[in-house]
Chains A and B, each alone.
Chain A
């Protein structure tokens, strides 16, 4: 169901399937309500996935010890 491990893509696919099933008109009311609830959870998860990441542009740099690490990257630095 709306597992947190589900990827964005899987969530969207599941949503599509739920909507399709509801559209078929062969669903009983109870099933429809639980499908609706699941859909709501999936929608929430998808929206969260779209927005959960903060914009972060990094670049890999070589540290003093010679190891590669990451640092913020400004595209203005040309």
Chain B
């Protein structure tokens, strides 16, 4: 053996190869077809990417897979684009692509088309709600644009049969996928508008356009512009019913109503016949009930009126009024009597008061008169007596006044019992009582002998 030859261990060589591959190639995008796909319970997915002449092992680890939005294309035979790192699985001495992300090669291109067309139609206003036509409450005839074969039409007819046993359906058999499908669908919609317009004898007043579920490619006809425009132009309302996809087709956006599946469309297109019948029966019952109710009400009122006291015993009313009249009369009389009595009483009172006053006044006047007279009489007598006294006093005083001065000087006056002045001895006899007045009083004395005449006197 040549001593200069370097001998690698398998591990060392594998590591060297790994190093070269990861540094020289590293991150790549590859496109190919999936084959021999194996899904492990660990969540990792192993498959082979191939073209006509070569193949590449690939692994999609669980964490990378869970980051994918769509995985339903991960099937044998699907054309995909994958991005990842070229690496070496040392245990088996295999190089492989560790996939970071993967997408359907077909879908990628279709999605771009879809998005572009969607934007275009939306910008044109084809999706606007103002274009949505109302659906008939009770369709006379339903147009169905779909494939005549397969479970879809069968299921729809079953649903319709169950809900509305005598509903009329006109099927327009069309190709729903592959070459020429879109044209076929669009023509059917146009044909219905042309031959079964509202008012025509074969009128269809609502149509369902759809097919069963499938891949984006399968449903593609319903994303074609020609179909979207035919639906938009339809004067007959359109219910779209495409697959069980979560995603909307362009036909869904343009349709007057979108059903998630064809069976759902059959449910939406018409209410169950029983519901209509129930509603009609309810209305019928309402009408009867209301009329009877009104009738009963009016009959009751009539009965009340008939049995009303006024009509039944009119005399009762008269009696009532008669009684009232009596009562009023009584009150009136009473009032008059009372009034008269009061007046009389008052008059009497007035009279009696007047009489009393007069009598009193007369008596008073009389009394005053009498008093006056008495006073007058009394006054005169008194005056007279008084005057007499005064006159007497004055006379006495006058009588006394003359000799009074003389008496002061010691002289006295002597009078007889008759009061006559004794001027001579002759005027008295012995035993006669005489009164001698002195200045301060009268002395009573008695003459005891014959009085002697004084000599010289004469």
A interface residues, Cβ below 8 angstroms from B: 7-9, 12, 15-16, 18-19, 22-23, 25, 27, 29, 32-33, 36, 39-40, 43, 46-47, 49-51, 53-61, 68, 70, 73, 75, 77-78
Contacts and interface: CB of A to CB of B under 8 A. Distances in A.
The contact size tier of chain B is: 35 or more
Contact of B171 (A25, A43, A57): A57
A78 B150 contact: yes
Interface stretch (B26-34, B36-44, B160-168, B395-403): B160-168
A60 B172 contact: yes
Contacts of A32: 290-291, 294
Given A9-B137, A32-B291, A51-B166, A19 B283 contact: yes
Given A22-B290, A27-B294, A29-B298, A59 B276 contact: no
A60 B171 contact: yes
Interface string B122-161: 0000000000000011101100000011110110011001
Which of B149, B157, B283, B298: most chain A Cβ within 10 A? B283
A50 B271 CA distance: 11
B170 A58 contact: yes
A75 to B, nearest CB: 5
A57 B169 CA distance: 5
B301 to A, nearest CB: 11
A8 B188 CA distance: 28
A75 B153 contact: yes
B280 interface: yes
A50 to B, nearest CB: 6
A8 B138 CA distance: 7
Secondary structure at the B interface, as helix, strand, loop or mixed, is helix
B287 A36 contact: yes
B286 interface: yes
17 contacts: A18-B287, A19-B287, A47-B277, A50-B138, A50-B273, A53-B141, A53-B167, A53-B168, A55-B161, A55-B167, A57-B169, A57-B171, A59-B148, A60-B191, A61-B173, A68-B191, A77-B149
A24 B263 CA distance: 42
Contact of A60 (B161, B165, B168, B170): B170
A58 B192 CA distance: 13
Q: 6 tightest CB-CB pairs across the interface, nearest first?
A: A59-B171, A22-B290, A9-B137, A8-B138, A39-B287, A55-B166
B279 interface: yes
Contacts of A58: 168-171
B284 interface: yes
Contacts of B153: 75
A8 B205 CA distance: 13
Contacts of B154: 75, 78
Contacts of B158: 75
Contacts of B277: 47, 50
A22 B293 CA distance: 10
B170 A43 contact: no
Contact of B290 (A16, A23, A51): A23
Contact of B140 (A27, A53, A57): A53
Given A22-B294, A29-B294, A50-B276, 18 more contacts: A18-B287, A22-B286, A22-B291, A23-B290, A27-B294, A36-B287, A39-B284, A55-B165, A58-B170, A60-B172, A68-B195, A70-B170, A70-B202, A75-B157, A75-B158, A77-B149, A78-B149, A78-B154
B172 to A, nearest CB: 5
Nearest to A50: B276
Contacts of A29: 294, 298
Contacts of A59: 148, 170-173
A53 B105 CA distance: 51
A20 to B, nearest CB: 9
A23 B261 CA distance: 42
Contacts of B276: 46, 50
Given A50-B273, A55-B166, A58-B171, A12 B291 contact: no
A78 B136 CA distance: 30
Contacts of A56: 168-169
Given A9-B137, A16-B283, A55 B168 contact: yes
Given A27-B294, A55-B168, A43 B148 contact: no
B171 A12 contact: no
A59 B142 CA distance: 11
A7 to B, nearest CB: 8
B164 to A, nearest CB: 9
Nearest to B157: A75
B283 A15 contact: yes
Interface string B166-201: 111111110000000000000010010001000000
Contacts of B167: 53, 55
